Chains A and B, each alone.
Chain A
Amino acid sequence: MLRITGKITNLVLIGIVLSMMLICGLPVKADEVSTDAEVNVVDGDTLYGYKNVDSEDVIQEHHALKAPDTHGAGIFFHGWIIIEFKSTIAKSSMISYWASNEGWQKSNIKVYISKDGKKWTYIDQRMIENHHIQKYDIYGNFKNVRYIKITRNAGLFSWLQLDAVGAKRG
């Protein structure tokens, strides 16, 4: 009887030791880790800003060029920026821009387009207050679009982050 009790005690002890080893993570025969991957696919028919032509009260102008990438140019005070597309879009049904408002005051935005960078056509005005970069679309029948100008009208305590501008062909 004593021998049986002793064997049971030994088995219990072995079980405790094995449990402790598992709890402590030893031994480990494999390890696995993971991470996320992300790609943002845009419409291939959209032309994005190619060149910063002129600006006022704007920093990091180059961040407003190319496709949206969550990094934007900062437009302060009553600043403005003129961006050129790589080619003239003969016919466009949608002009877009990607922007957010940073700070306490909303940004009053006006958008103009031009074929020569001199004579401008006003196409949109809106108040932006979203703190996350968002796409804003302007629908119409736009012709010969080569330049886009965005102006901001707001106070000292905020600024506009302009990530990208785009014009859809056709």
Chain B
Amino acid sequence: MKRILVSAIISIVLLATFALPVFAVSEETNTTASVTVGAIISITLQDANNDGIQFGTVEPSDTEIFGDVAQSDGTPAIGVTVQSETNTRVDLNIKGEVSGTFALSNWKFSTNYDQSDIRDLTSTYPDLPIYDEAPAGTYAFYQWVSVPVGTEAGTYTATIYFKAEND
């Protein structure tokens, strides 16, 4: 009888021990959290004279290329600033738009004051960006115009567009 009693007690203790996890007071599990941060791109223009791109008054010439009257070496007519809130590197590009007889190819730009990379403006953005994967900062766009001999006297205008994008 005593042995039976001891066996019963041991059995109860073992049962209680194995049954404890069933009555646990805490439990742990997990899941996945994710957040998608979108690209933010913001650019502004720094105008050398705050009056747009002004070439002043010029006489037609087949040899001379005229620059914005306010620009000088180190001070481009237009600086495109990629703002600090831009959270991705961007490709900077330029294009132009004209109306009338004065051809768009007369309007030019360069990134160097010495005109070593001078190019005609085009009506669409070039396939290769002017500045590739540019971080926040200010980027120079020197502005030039050629006025071939034979150009009729008058005032000619163009609209210059600057675009920053993340391709």
User: Which of A's residues lie within 8 Å of B, judged by CB?
Assistant: 21, 26-44, 66-69
Q: How far apart are A157's CB and chain B's nearest CB, in angstroms?
A: 29
Are B60 and A44 in touch, CB under 8 angstroms? yes
Considering the chains assembled together, what is the distance between the CA atoms of A96 and B69 in angstroms? 24
Give me 29 A-to-B residue pairs in the complex whose CB atoms sit less than 8 angstroms apart, sorted by A's number.
A26-B40, A28-B38, A28-B41, A29-B38, A29-B39, A30-B164, A30-B166, A31-B165, A33-B161, A35-B52, A35-B159, A37-B143, A37-B159, A38-B158, A39-B55, A39-B56, A39-B156, A40-B55, A40-B57, A40-B155, A41-B60, A41-B152, A41-B153, A42-B58, A44-B60, A44-B61, A44-B149, A67-B57, A69-B57
Considering the chains assembled together, what is the distance between the CA atoms of A35 and B70 in angstroms? 15
Tell me whether chain B's interface is mostly helix, strand or loop, or mixed: strand
User: Which of B's residues lie within 8 Å of A, judged by CB?
Assistant: 37-45, 47, 52-61, 66, 69, 78, 80, 96, 107, 143, 145, 147, 149, 151-166
- Residue of chain B at shortest CB distance from A67: B57
Q: How far apart are A57's CB and chain B's nearest CB, in angstroms?
A: 26
- Residue of chain A at shortest CB distance from B161: A34
